[in-house]
C-alpha cells in the first residue's frame, strides 16, 4: 500500500495518480493528516486492507507534501555503505554507526525546489528513509520491523564546508538548512516494498548518474538501526530515520563537485519511485 500526504491530507494512492482521502473514506475515524494516521497506524492498515473507496481523485506531484510533516525526531545514519565510507576516508565502526539529527524545519516536499544557501557547497546523498509507525524503547532486532510504518526516499542534502568546520564536526546543522530534507513521494508499506535484495538506490543530476547502489549493501540493517537507537531514545510514530547513502557523493571527487543553480536532481529507489528538486539560486 502507498500512503501520501496530499495537500496536508493523508491519502491512499491507488494507481498512478489516483488516490482517496483517508479521513473522508473512514468517516473521520483516521486522519485527516499524516500525523494522526501514523499515530494509529496498525488500526489504519487493518481498516485500509479491505476498504473499497467510494470517491477517488487525481493529483499532481506538486500537491505532495513530506510523508511525515511533523516528526518528533529525524535521525540520520552516517557511513552505512562500505564504498561510501571508503570514498570519504572515514573509518566504519561495525558495532555502532555515526548518528546525527536533521532538524524538522529542514523537511521539504518531495518535488519542492531547493534554494541554495549563501556561501555554501551543497552535496547530494540519496537515502532510504524508514518511517516509524509504533512507539517504543529497547526494541529488539526481532521486533524492529513491526515498528516501521513503511519506507520513503529522502535526500540528505549536506553543506560540506560547514559539516567539517571546527574540531567537533557540525553534521546536524550542516544538514538542516531550509529544504535540506525532502522526503517522499509517499510511504510504501514494507509488505509492498518486499525484499531489499538487489533493489537499486540511485541519484542523478541533470540526467547523469552520480550515485548507484543496492539497499542490501547497507552495513547496519533497518532492524539493527532501530535496536541501536531505541536503546537510548524513545521512537515515536512519524519519526524518520535516514539510513545512509551509497557511494558517489560530490565532495569525494577530484575535483569536488557540488550542486549548481539551474540543475535538477532526482533520487530513486526501485519500488518506491522518484523525488526531484530543481536547484535555484539564493532567494
Closest distance to Zn ion from the beta carbon of 53 (Å): 37
Applying CB under 5 A, does 80 fall inside the site for Zn ion?
Answer: no
Instruction: Judge contact between 168 and 156, C-beta under 8 A.
Output: no
Q: Other CB atoms closer than 10 Å to residue 34's CB: what's the count?
A: 29
Q: Min. distance of Cβ 52 from Zn ion in angstroms?
A: 40
Task: Give the residue with the Cβ less far from Zn ion, 12 or 183.
Answer: 183
Three-state secondary-structure class, residue 75: strand
- As measured in angstroms, the least distance from the Cβ of 213 to Zn ion is 13
Rg (CA), the chain: 18
Neighbouring residues of 208: CB distance < 8 A, sequence distance ≥ 6: none
181 sits near Zn ion (criterion: CB under 5 A): no
Cβ–Cβ < 8 Å for 233, 225: no
Site for Zn ion in 87-146 (CB under 5 A): 125
Q: Which of residues 199-258 bind Zn ion (CB under 5 A)?
A: 245
Cβ distance to Zn ion smaller for residue 25 or 156: 156
Minimum distance, C-beta of residue 109 to Zn ion, in the bound complex (Å):
19
**Contact flags string 143-162 toward Zn ion, x per CB under 5 A:** -------------x------
- Enumerate binding residues for Zn ion (CB under 5 A): 125, 156, 245
Amino acid at each position: 500500500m502507498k500512503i501520501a500526504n496530499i495537500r496536508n491530507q493523508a491519502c491512499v494512492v491507488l494507481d498512478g495518480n489516483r488516490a482517496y482521502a483517508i479521513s473522508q473514506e473512514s468517516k473521520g475515524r483516521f486522519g485527516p493528516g499524516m500525523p494522526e494516521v501514523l499515530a494509529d497506524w496498525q488500526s489504519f492498515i487493518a481498516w485500509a486492507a479491505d476498504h473499497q473507496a467510494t470517491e477517488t481523485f487525481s493529483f499532481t506531484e506538486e500537491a505532495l507534501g513530506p510523508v511525515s510533516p511533523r516528526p518528533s525526531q529525524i535521525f540520520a545514519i552516517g557511513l552505512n555503505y562500505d564504498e561510501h565510507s571508503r570514498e570519504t576516508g572515514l573509518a566504519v565502526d561495525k558495532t555502532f554507526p555515526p548518528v546525527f539529527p536533521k532538524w524538522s524545519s529542514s523537511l521539504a516536499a518531495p518535488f519542492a525546489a531547493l534554494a541554495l544557501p549563501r556561501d555554501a557547497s551543497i552535496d547530494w546523498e540519496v537515502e532510504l528513509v524508514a518511517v516509524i509507525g509504533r512507539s517504543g524503547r529497547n526494541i529488539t532486532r526481532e521486533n524492529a520491523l513491526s515498528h516501521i510504518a513503511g519506507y520513503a526516499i529522502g535526500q540528505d542534502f549536506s553543506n560540506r564546508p560547514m559539516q567539517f568546520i571546527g574540531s567537533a564536526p557540525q553534521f546536524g546543522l550542516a544538514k538542516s538548512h531550509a529544504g535540506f530534507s525532502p522526503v517522499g513521494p509517499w510511504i510504501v508499506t514494507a509488505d509492498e516494498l518486499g525484499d531489499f535484495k538487489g533493489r537499486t538506490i540511485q541519484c542523478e543530476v541533470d540526467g547523469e548518474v552520480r550515485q548507484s547502489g543496492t539497499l542490501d549493501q547497507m552495513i547496519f540493517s533497518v532492524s539493527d538501526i532501530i535496536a541501536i537507537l531505541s536503546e537510548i531514545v524513545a521512537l515515536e510514530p512519524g519519526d524518520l530515520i535516514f539510513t545512509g547513502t551509497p557511494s558517489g557523493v560530490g565532495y569525494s571527487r577530484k575535483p569536488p563537485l557540488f550542486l549548481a543553480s539551474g540543475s535538477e536532481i532526482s533520487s530513486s529507489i526501485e519500488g518506491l519511485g522518484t523525488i526531484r528538486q530543481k536547484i535555484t539560486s539564493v532567494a
